[in-house]
Structure 1
Amino acid sequence: MESISSARLLLAQHYGRTGRVALARQQLDTIEAGMPAGTAELFTGMLMGLQGWLDCLEGDHARARRRLAGAVRRMEKLAYMVAPRLLVGQFPTAAWAMAGRDPVDGARFVGAYDRHADGPGGTGFRQFSAGAAQEIRLRAEAELRAVLGREAYTRAHAEGRGLTVRQAAALVR
């Protein structure tokens, strides 16, 4: 089961990165349907975060924000102990989702991500491949810079670099 779910996660990521969002959602829905009752919220939160990324790809930033907030709430209890990078991995997608609503917080999320993405702690398990994470981060930055301008983006990004993972996660929630 675990190897099939891992393959489906990779396939969903591939589909999303290549513009086939409906197929990506089918993979995530299949994984979720196969999860037994009592599955750790770390994993259900990860799936919710992936759905938020797909929402951003479709331009539904409001739904993405709701899903990402839910993902962080689900993951927080366990993530700080075993996989803080899963929480940090939500920040670029949250930044992207905030571009049209609160771009200052969006730029803070990018700053927090830049500070903590390769930091110590956890198992190193990540939601996205390095390439996908970089694409999401760059997309978020481009949209935020377009809204804020260079100076405001740079200032908010610097503020985000000063946030702890817990502080940034609280802003996502």
Structure 2
Amino acid sequence: MPVINAESERVRYSAFDLSSTGTSVYNNWNGQVGVTPVKTTDIKSDTWSSVNGYITDMLGNTEVTNNEGKLTIVMILPSAGCTLFGEGEEESNHALSKLTFTGFGKCEFVEYDDAKWSQSDYENTAGLAKVKDTTTAYIAEFNDANNIDTLVIGFPELDGVIFNLKKG
């Protein structure tokens, strides 16, 4: 749905619900929705670790490679026993970059009762379990409200599957 900007122009925006990242999306909300643009940066080649080293970890290391705008993402899912591969092109204007993820055929998604997962781990596992072959995701990198490098990977076709990865 288009939005009217301050210059009364109709524009379209890409959006994630970043409330879990510490970004104050609805600061002083008073009956109108205010959208604060997130200043995304170039997506850098890096390894994002969210792993405890347990076989029951929902998400292990995520490796991001940006080779002159060609993005390759490798997401290790220890609890599912598989690795997902994402490929796409980085958007030149720092908007959300579209990726196609594959590798779901080797995954066995199991929800462990004693794995000390967060609610989002359970939701992400249930969402990813619905994929049979490939799915689309969008990725962005930015500094959050606490100036921490943050990588967000969202799967809009999977109703709420989103990964917020932070450095440090």
TM range (shorter): under 0.3
Q: Which structure carries more strand by proportion?
A: 2
TM-score (norm. length: structure 2): 0.27
| Larger Cα-atom Rg | 2
- TM-score by length of structure 1 reads 0.27
